[in-house]
Amino acid sequence: MCLGKGLPGRVYRCVATAFLLLSTHAVRAEEFRLESVGTRFAFSSKKRNADMYQTDLTLNANLPWRWNFNEHWSLQTRLDFSAGWLTGRGDDAGVFNLTPSFVLHRENIPVSLVAGSGPALLTKYRFDGLNLGMHFQFATYAGLDWNIGTHFRLGYQFQHMSNAELASPNPGINFHFFAVSYRF
């Protein structure tokens, strides 16, 4: 059961549990390879943070671990890196994410479920009327990727970013991300 204090604690316990459970299924070792590059845009979803926006460049790489549940379903591990700009309330900050993630895919269906959680670094954490508590944050997301043809992808992610109560205050920000990527 995935229990823990706060969202990041529950997510990390769920990821650890998933790794243990998945280790009993067929694991296929692959090579570390660049999977896609792209860009994404986000707007915050809460009224109190409604004027926060983020724009990123993204780089995704498949990690060498992939679980095949049967001939149709697979779970690919991936490392997502993004570098971008967080803006709002008359202030700007650089934001850098490094996120281990999972991609659940069914053969012959162009839509995949994606989820991940990892560290984020902000060059500035105080905005007019919004104090995120510290430069170090955690970004946790879930979403959908839609592969269009061989090389293009559209995506949506709902992301929560907060400092996981490592500092006070810890208001967190929820974002709706929309992405366009080129797949290699």
Going from N- to C-terminal start, the domains of the chain cover 27-183
The ranges of the chain with pLDDT < 70 are 1-9, 11-12, 14-16, 18-30, 48-49
Report d(CA 13, CA 10) in Å as an integer: 5
Q: Give me the pLDDT at residue 12, please.
A: 66
Q: CA of 46: how far to CAs of 50, 52, 115, 174, in Å?
A: 6, 9, 21, 7
Q: Give me the pLDDT at residue 16, please.
A: 66
Q: Give me the pLDDT at residue 48, please.
A: 67
On whether the 27-183 domain is CATH 3.30.420.40, my answer is: no
Report d(CA 52, CA 16) in Å as an integer: 32
Q: Give me the pLDDT at residue 32, please.
A: 86
Report d(CA 145, CA 116) in Å as an integer: 13
Cβ atoms of 58 and 42 within 8 Å: the answer is: no
pTM of the shown model: 0.82
